[in-house]
Chain A
């Protein structure tokens, strides 16, 4: 049969063929329309994703500034610490190779391999924070592999340099295992300066957005949590650099996409502290505390403060708050157990008692009363005040309250037990030198016909504020307490009672509602010592940039900002210039007080100065405390001292929660804090020291020796400096 002659068999029905072509056409049309959607309509969005894929912003950490003391001794610096890390994506493909690496690494760094990776072991490993030993290597890597396989997980932190070197040498055998260098903060002086220098911690969630916007990387960068690390955070931290790099899928950096921005190192900060004097002050305080605690065989003195300052410049030379903490233990992380231990300690080691704790001042506050009484003419240099052992005074809540047996009670002098008849007739200077309570009751609250009108609480408050009380000092440390100098209004608002005459009497001797910080007491003494000029207390002496050039800096205590230009309310901290807060003998700051028809009031529009003679008289009183052999409170301590010292002691009765719990708040036998304030040389003071011992007892015998040893150390160190040709201490 001839194939050519037969009619061609209808191979494909036309409509079926058309249907096939239609299917093919529709399929390709669908694909092309999808292609147009992707490559034309949505192209720019996909392009963003593509750029996002290969673009990586690498933040280059800036070196934190170094903190020095006034002589250039390092108080805070950066050290390298080595972490052994594994990048899961960098490990070999072969499971047996991985296990070999784990085994060998495990031998070197003593972290368990971890056994088989199961859901249970992973769930357990999740509970551990980075760097905390516990999970095995296998578990750590498996977790990281699911999170971010191309970034490294810390296997062991803070290994020795030798281990780090071995790991680096074996990098060819151990692909994926590397050494990460992490800067950690190191404090060579440790707990000695922890109160001032502070410590670093992770960026808290509350600040995360703000700091992230400024280039910080949470969980890597740290910020200051206390001390100068916190207050000077903005200048210590520097500016992180930024590199925008192209990466491949393995995270390997290929090239810079934009010119890199180099990190700017933080500024270095020089403190006014002299580490040697700081050590002497701490040793002196702890020696005293240990002596008395051993003597009484109980923790009698639980905390204490020593501050040394140059009254003419305001430079704090030493500031010790006991107990404190070891800030080197916070270098890497803030260990929970240690932090808990510190925060549960009733003595509150994390608190800087020098500026953040408020105590009743006791007799050191008499400087305010003395200044006020003398300046207001209540007492004169020639006047004699009669000081019996005790005064019977009645408590009046209103001027017309009658004095009866029920509201009359004795106000005693501290000499009463030794000498029931009291100091007898004494001068204004002796009132200060002997620290006679009775004298100051009379000056402050008035007494019958002898002193018809005392200073009164309102005027006392004026003079106390002029000496620096009742307000933060503006020092460059966070957490400063205001203290409290009460007023009748304050009492009505806060206790619901009228101000009573008794309140004035005890406020005159620094008791009752009066609360102060040790730094405020130091400032009041410094204002007197410096002839009425109150200098701004400062702990910053100098700021230099990363290359060591001195830079100008201003500090604003109101909003706690550090700027390289002057802002309203700020004062210059670098280069150091003594900043005077005020000179009360020049600037009128005491409100005039006038009485009409027995109603007395302050006139805030009518201000007056404190007379230089007043300051001179108070100074003379503080000197007499050292020179008067009869009852001079500091006579025993400083009589033999080759340099003329002047000062004031204080024994402040208190009744706080601790004392109340121990049932020690018994009327007439209250527990007492011990205070001593002294400055030298008397004629031209360059050092003033305050010592405070919580529950220390008598000021002169407990806090006094501490002050004496610090002043002694100061002049010895100064002599050493001069002998060695260095800049003498305090200059």
Chain B
């Protein structure tokens, strides 16, 4: 299977950036637990996930991604089974059923479901690349997406639905979506959002309201977390307060500082220099993925790389925007930096797939 393959084409720069981001993430998590005894094992655990993840990258890079595409139906059905069973078997955590317990590990099938959707769409777009870009073509792509996405929406996990829809959109866009269709999609999208608002869960609506109309008196209320994150970022200044010396982080004024708000912890302790490096690292990874998409030998490879690039870009910038109170609190972690085994592992799988594409790129170089 590896015959004719050269590790020369393996994107070591991408791997380097991922290793840098994950290792830095582990270091920040170590600082961010701030002496909380319940979290004391998290940095070590995250480090193990990083190491296992690197192994996964190399394994997946070695396997031709076409192999996964050929069995995509099986993967698709199994994933759907997982997602459906979550509604009954999944563990109720934080009000939403997002976790699946395997032994002592909590797995989050949603993270992997996004990869399955990317794979299925990649296969679909390759198969249909010579078909006209009509509504049927569009509807079929939506059908592949929503076959899994519907279960995520029912969890309910709105932020991952949005992430997936953005991935879908980037994919159809790069597959020469007609501008006329785009216009009507825009109109219908606005209508769907307006129509869907009454059906949102109370807490989701509340988040939107809190974002749009913050209550200046609510210091312990709903905007507490974001407010504390802003204080952390702003007080970090240019050079930060130093590793392990952020008052917002170390004195635990900021909540979920090792997951959703890890960027605020970084900003506080490493200042603007550190924050911009994080953004640039993320941008670099996204760029390497798009570059791989361009160089792919076939459309399915391009779509996998593009899907991963979109996933990383959108989820990353959404998290940063949430940290800086530009969008409502969403619960999307910062790729590679935030604590979370499932999240990191699914991202490592994504990178593995991209590396697999990169290693089999179109033989252009002679």
Contacts and interface: CB of A to CB of B under 8 A. Distances in A.
Interface of A: 3-4, 8-9, 11-13, 16-17, 19-21, 24, 27-28, 30-32, 34-36, 38-40, 42-43, 45-47, 49-51, 53-54, 149, 246-250, 254
Interface of A is mostly: helix
A30 B324 CA distance: 11
A462 to B, nearest CB: 66
A619 B19 CA distance: 109
Nearest to A35: B275
Contacts of B302: 11-12
Nearest to B221: A146
B159 interface: no
A11 B271 contact: no
Nearest to B170: A20
Contacts of A40: 237-238, 272
Contacts of B233: 35, 38-39, 46
Query: What are the nearest 10 A-B pairs in CB distance?
Result: A46-B234, A50-B235, A248-B251, A39-B272, A47-B235, A249-B252, A38-B234, A49-B231, A43-B237, A46-B235
A489 B279 CA distance: 91
Given A24-B286, A249-B252, A39 B317 contact: no
A39 B323 CA distance: 13
A46 B230 contact: yes
A91 to B, nearest CB: 16
B251 A54 contact: yes
B272 A35 contact: yes
A35 B317 CA distance: 12
Nearest to B276: A32
A53 B248 contact: yes
A24 to B, nearest CB: 6
Contacts of B272: 35-36, 39-40
A204 to B, nearest CB: 27
B251 A35 contact: no
B320 A31 contact: yes
Nearest to A12: B174
A468 B252 CA distance: 69
Interface string B161-200: 0000000001001101000000000000000000000000
Contacts, number: 120
Nearest to B233: A38
Contacts of A39: 233-234, 236-238, 267, 271-272, 275
Contact of B251 (A31, A49, A246): A246
A249 B34 CA distance: 12
Contacts of A28: 279, 283, 317
10 contacts: A13-B176, A19-B173, A24-B313, A31-B320, A32-B279, A36-B272, A38-B230, A38-B234, A46-B233, A250-B252
Given A11-B294, A20-B170, A43-B236, 9 more contacts: A3-B363, A8-B364, A17-B174, A39-B267, A40-B272, A43-B234, A49-B235, A50-B247, A51-B247
Contacts of A51: 235, 247
B232 interface: yes
Contact of B252 (A24, A36, A46, A248): A248
Contact of B176 (A8, A16, A30, A34): A16
Contacts of A34: 321, 324, 326
A13 B173 CA distance: 10
Interface of B: 170, 173-174, 176, 220, 228, 230-238, 247-248, 251-253, 267, 271-272, 275-276, 279, 283, 286, 290, 293-294, 296-297, 299, 302, 313, 317, 320-321, 324, 326, 362-364
B313 A27 contact: yes
A509 to B, nearest CB: 70
B317 A53 contact: no
Given A16-B174, A20-B170, A34-B326, A149 B220 contact: yes
Contact of B294 (A12, A43, A53, A250): A12
Nearest to B247: A54
Nearest to B295: A11
A49 B234 CA distance: 9
A45 B234 contact: yes
A31 B174 contact: no
Contacts of B176: 13, 16
Contacts of A16: 173-174, 176
Contacts of A13: 176
Contacts of B234: 38-39, 42-43, 45-47, 49-50
A34 B271 CA distance: 13
A19 B275 CA distance: 26
A24 B286 CA distance: 9
A4 B294 contact: no
Contacts of A24: 283, 286, 313
B321 A31 contact: yes
A31 B324 contact: yes
A8 B230 contact: no
Contacts of A249: 251-253
Contacts of A38: 230, 233-234, 267, 324
A248 B252 CA distance: 6
B208 to A, nearest CB: 20
Contact of B297 (A3, A12, A32, A149): A3
- Among B233, B234, B271, B279, chain A packs the most CB atoms within 10 A around the CB of B234
Nearest to B363: A4
Contacts of A19: 173
B235 A247 contact: no
Given A17-B174, A246-B251, A46 B231 contact: yes
A576 B321 CA distance: 74
Given A20-B170, A28-B317, A36-B272, A47 B237 contact: yes
A320 B175 CA distance: 102
Given A16-B173, A43-B234, A27 B317 contact: yes
Contacts of B317: 27-28, 31
